[in-house]
Structure 1
Amino acid sequence: MAGRYARASARRNRCQSAPFAPARERYALRGGRTVSRLRLTRRVRFEAAHRLWSEQLDDAANQSIYGKCAREGGHGHNYEVEVTLEGPVDPVSGLLVVREQLDHVLDEHLVSRCDHRNLDDLVDLPGVSTGENLARAFFDWVRPHVPAPARLARLRVYETPRNHFDASEPFDASGPEDK
């Protein structure tokens, strides 16, 4: 047993002498005090149906690409969506955001729009209702309603136990400009 405790003590000592600053010191100082930032992840669930089918493809191509997900009747999922906010912790409340405010945003702008619905009927969903497109659309729906000063850092859609899709701020796919 003594060996195990010695190894744990050695690990602690290595961690304490790490060459990087603690999280609270890595963020900008404002008004002479440290601004602590962190991330909060909240999860919601809903059930919805959809069919993977592109009007730009013929029947054979749709069947080849989407397989059983292209069946005419569609299919359903028990979706889970994780929303990760990032921002400063309020020094008075000790919170990044009041949980009830975040729950209201998620219910109004995501769950109530999708729960027990056919996602293909959503008019503001771009393209085929793939997990990739759902994550992107859900991110755009929630982002403008996140209580300030927090920001939406990531939205993750769990469609099946094997598949999840992450959306975050848009990036420029063209790469850095050559100068």
Structure 2
Amino acid sequence: MDSVLTADLTGGQRAAVRRLLDVAFDGEFSDEDWEHSLGGVHFMVIEEGVPVAHASVVQRRFLHDGRSLRCGYVEAVAVHPERQRRGLGAAVMSRAERVIDGGYQLGALSASGAGRALYLARGWTPWQGATAVLAPEGVVRTEEDDDSTFVREVPGGVPLRHTATLICDWRDGDVW
């Protein structure tokens, strides 16, 4: 398992990870999705010099119950289709969770339908309250993301009121 800061990824590594994401997401991984996965730390399972599993953790700011929280946000979790169901997704998530637990006040992610079972099995909690984004025009509800948002409470972190509104910071593309 490799852990690499975005700043330390070589051009070849960046290209190989992007190819994996394009294959794993069947061409539905946008340039904005790729941009969201950069700026933090990447966890990769490498086989024969090629990444076959990936996850990244980037820092974001969330608002919850009147507080601004440092969030370790999980992005770009993918396993090559020919390598799925072998524990590789769990392996990259284990490393991501270690970083979140040691460096953030909470963890969060937006789960695809295919990824829900992995996150539930690992103890991630579906958010029960409303979701919103702090957009340029102010706080805007994101009802379409209510069912896909998952959180991870970290040891010694801030207790979360799971029925309250969780507000993420603004970014281009999908905000969650």
TM-score (norm 2): 0.25
Higher relative contact order (CA 8 A, sep 6+): 1
Identify, as 1 or 2, the structure richer in helix.
Answer: 1
